[in-house]
Structure 1
C-alpha cells in the first residue's frame, strides 16, 4: 500500500486522530497506520492509503489536517534522503519529467535560512526532471519535511532534524472554513456559542454529510446546526430556553444565521423542549446527535416539571388568552447526561453517533465517570485541557441491530488520548438498568460540576 505523510495543524492535538478516522469513514478510504506514531509534539503521521486519489479525498473537509504528501523517502538525515531519492525507480518521476516544478523545504520545530534552503534544494539537482522551475504556479511541488521535535524534549531542540520525509506534494485542506464561520463574523451569537474550529471538527466526527439528519438537543445559538449543514446534513435544534432560539430582537437569531450562510434549505428549524419531554416519534431516525449540554456555570439546564415551591394554577391560559409556558425545574448535569444517553440509544439509527462535551475536574477525573450504555460503543474520548479542569469530547456509536449488547470487557474499554486501555473493574461494581444504562460509579465527578468548578475558581466553561 502506498505511503503518505499527513501534516496536521498543531491545534487540538487530542482530536486529530478522531477526526482522521471519521474522515476516512465519510470518504470511504481505508487507512493503515499505527496511532502511536503520531507524537504530541510533532504534526507528522505516516499513513498507508491505497491510491493518491483517496489520499486527496481526506482533505475535502478536513479541519485538523493541513496538507499531505506522497512518501517517497524517509530518513533521519538529509544525506539519507538524497541517497534514497537517487535510487528511486525511474517510473516515480515519469509523470513529472517535463512538468514545471519547484522544491519546498518545510521545517517544523526550528528555522532554516533562505540560503541554507537553496543549498539543500540544489543537492537534488540529480533528479531526472526536465521541466522549468516555476516558483509561482508549478505543476508539481516536491516537498522535504524536516522534523526537529519528534522524540525530542521541546526545551532541548537538536541542531539537526531527527527525521525527514521527501515526496510530491498532493493537496492542502480547507482550514479557511474556520474563518468563514468565525464567531466574530456571525450575525447572531451568545455567551455559550461554540467556536468555529471545534464546531467543524465535531461535525466531522459526527459524520455529518449530505442526506443525514443531525439533532442538537441543546441548540442555544445554533453553532452545530451551521457547521453540520455546511457539510450537507439536514439539521434541527431543540432547547428548553426559547429565548435563545428567538434571539435578541432586530431579527438576530438562529434563522438569521441560516440566511447569512445560505443554509436555509438544510437547517430545518427549532423546537422548544427538553431531552426528556419532546415531540419526536419513537423511531430510529437521527443519524447523529451533536451537542454541548449546559454545565450549570454560564448556563444552567432546566427541564419541564412541576415546581413544588410554586404549584401551577388550574388555568393553562394567561389573562390575555395566550397559553402559559410549562413550568421548569433545574436539571442536574448527571441527569441530563443520563437522559441524553437513553435518548441516543433509542432514537439514533444503527451506526449513528452521539458526540457531546463532558466537563471534568482534572484531579478527580476517572474514566468510569463517563456515562455508558449497553447499546452504545465508545469511539473516542478527546480531552481539551484547561488546567485544573477539562472538557472531554465523548464520541459514541449505536450498535447495529445484529450486534449483541456490549459485554463487561467491551464496556470497560476507554479511549484515552487515542490509546485504548482496559481499566480494571469488578463485575459487581457494574449495574445495568432496564433501559440499558450502565452505572460504573455511584457519584461521578461531573454530577456536581458547578460546585467543583467554582471551588477551583479558574478556567473557561459554558
Structure 2
C-alpha cells in the first residue's frame, strides 16, 4: 500500500522539538516518516509554528505507535482533503470517495468542527456539518462512542484580524478534513511526572514535559547513564520507557536528599518508587565526572543529562580555585571526624564541559549510541558552528532544538556515535573546541558570567 497523508494535530508547546521527536520514535520502531510536503527548509520552519502538519505514513499502525509515545501529539487523522475554502475542500473530498465510502452504509459516526485561533459559533459548526451531506452516511449518529470520528479543522491566521476586530466564522487560512485514527495518549504522562507531585525534587529538577522529550530522544535504550543526575528527573522518565539507569553526581547530597535516622533511602530511590521504577535504577555513585571510575568503554546505549550551567547551579569539578605552588594544600582537621569529608571544588567552564562530555560519550557509548543534553546559548550571538566545533571525530549531530527564553535559550542537542572502533577516555584538559588551532568563541562560553551580567560583554 502506498504511503498516505495524515494530519498531525500538535500541542502548541516546544514546537522545535516536534520533528526530532517524531524522527526519534519512528527510528526506534523501524519505520520512516515522509516529510515531502516540507522539503523547502523555510516552509518546514514555518510549518512547525503552526498546530498542524501533513506527513506521509504507510498506515494507521505507524500513526498509533507515534501517538502512544510522542509527547507533543494531540491526535492524528487520516487526511481526506484540505483547501483555502470549503468549495475547494469539498471538491477534493469528493475526489477521494474510495477512501471513505466503506463507512457510508452502516458505520456509526460523529462530526467535530474545531477552529484554531478562533472560537466557532454553534450555528457555523452546524452549517459546516450539513455541508458534508453529499457523503450520504447512513449509519447512526453517535456522540458518545462512534465507530469513526470525522474532524474538520479551520486554521485562522491570528486570534484577531489586522484591524483588531474579532475573526469572522469561515474567514480562515486553511481548512482540513479527515478521519480520526488515534488520540495522543503520551501527553497524559506530563501529569504523571509532574514535579510538584513528586516525592523528592530540588530547585534544579527538570520539568516533566521536557524530561519526557529528552527520554524520547534517547530512544530509551537498554542501559542509560546520567553523569549529572542531580535529583533524577531524566532517570524516572527513561526508566518508565524501559531503560535501566545508572547515575552519578559530584555532589551526593543532590541524590540523597534530606533524610533522618529512620529514613535512609536516597531521595532518587524514593521518587523512583513513586513511579514503580526502582528496579530499573541500577546504581547511584558520587564522583567527579572528570575523575571517573570507568576503566572500559562501549557500555551504554545512551547518555542523557542536563549539565549544570550556572543559572540555578554552576558546574564544578574537583580542585582548588587557587593553588599555591610554593606550599602544599593545608591539612585542616575536621571538628567531627564522623562527618564525611567534602573535597574542595572549582568552577567547570561550560564550553570545556561540553567538549569533555562529547569525548566521554564517544568513549562510553556503544556504536550508534546517543548523547542527549541541554546546552544554553545566548540568542544574539549563537551560531550553528558553536555546536559543530564542539564535535569530535566519530560523533555526528542528529538534532538541535531550541527552547527560547528571549535573550537566551537552551538547546536540546542529540549526538550519535557513528563509529565502531574504540577510543581512549578523555583527558579532561580541553579548552572548548575539538578542532586544533580553532579560535572561535562559542556563545555558550562563560555563560554563567554572561547570564548574571544581563548578557552584556564580559570584561
Aligned twin of 2:298: 284
- Structure 1 residue matching 2:68: 3-state secondary structure: coil
Whether 1:456 and 2:441 are equivalent positions in the alignment is: no
1:350 CA displacement: 1.3
The answer to whether residue 22 in structure 2 is matched with residue 20 in structure 1 is yes
What is the RMSD computed on CA atoms of the aligned residues? 2.8
Matches within 5 A, 1:336-347: 336-347=353-364
Q: 1:88 deviation in Å? A: 2.7
Aligned-pair CA distance for 1:376: 0.9
Does structure 1 conserve the Cα–Cα contact (< 8 Å) formed by 2:302 and 2:371? yes
Gaps of 5+ in 2: 422-429
Q: Secondary structure at the match of 1:59?
A: helix
- The partner residue of 1:195 within 193, 203, 207 is 207
Residue matched to 2:406 = 387
Deviation at 1:325, TM superposition (A): 4.6
Deviation digits for residues 323-372 of structure 1, max 9, x if unmatched? 74544332222221121111011111111111111111112222222221
Equivalent of 1:161 in 152, 168, 172:
172
Could you list the per-position Cα deviations for residues 37-82 of structure 1 after superposition, in whole angstroms to 9, with x for gaps in the alignment?
A: 4524411111111111112111111111111000111221112222
1:259: which partner in 2?
273
Secondary structure, counterpart of 1:60 in structure 2? helix
Q: Deviations over 1:248-278 (max 9, x none)?
A: 1254711100111111111222111122211
C-alpha change, 1:243 and 1:72, in structure 2 (3 Å) is: same
Q: Aligned-pair distance for 1:197?
A: 0.4
- Aligned ranges for residues 416-455 of structure 1 at < 5 Å? 437-438=434-435, 440-455=438-453
Contact 1:316 1:323 in 2 (8 A): no
Secondary structure of 2:229's match?
Answer: coil
Q: Deviations over 1:138-171 (max 9, x none)?
A: 1110111211239x99888975122222111011
- 1:322 & 1:40 partners in 2: Cα distance? 54
Q: Determine the C-alpha separation between the residues in 1 that align with 2:259 and 2:251.
A: 15
User: Residue 93 in 1 paired to residue 91 in 2?
Assistant: no
Matches of 1:182 and 1:154 in 2, distance apart?
A: 39
Partners of 1:374 and 1:438 within 8 A in 2: no
1-structure distance, mates of 2:71, 2:384: 27
Structure 2: how far apart are the matches of 1:320 and 1:158?
Answer: 73
Q: Give yes or no for the alignment of 1:109 onto 2:117.
A: yes
Give the distance between the partners of 1:342 and 1:324, measured in 2 at CA. 30
Alignment match of 1:186 (pick from 192, 195, 198): 198
Corresponding residue number in structure 2 for 1:133: 141
State TM-score, norm by structure 2. 0.85
Matched, 1:233 2:243: yes
Contact 1:69-1:169 within 8 A present in 2 as well: yes
Say if 2:282 is the partner of 1:274: no
Structure 1 window deviating more from structure 2 (155-164 vs 24-33): it is 155-164
Residue 133 of structure 2: SS of its match in structure 1? coil
1:350 matched to 2:367? The reply is yes
Match of 2:32 in 1: 30
Alpha-carbon offset, residue 443 of structure 1 = 3.0
Q: Which residue of 2 aligns with 1:143?
A: 151
Residues 317 and 323, structure 1, Cα contact 8 Å, conserved in 2: no
Instruction: Tell me, in whole angstroms, the C-alpha distance in 2 between the residues paired with 1:63 and 1:335.
Output: 32
Structure 1 alignment gaps of length 5 or more: 403-432
Distance 1:154 1:16 in 2: 29
TM-score w.r.t. the length of structure 1 is 0.85
* Structure 2 residue 209 is matched with structure 1 residue 208: no
> Structure 1 residues 154 and 451 mapped into 2: Cα distance closer, same or farther (>3 Å)?
farther
Aligned counterpart, 2:427: none
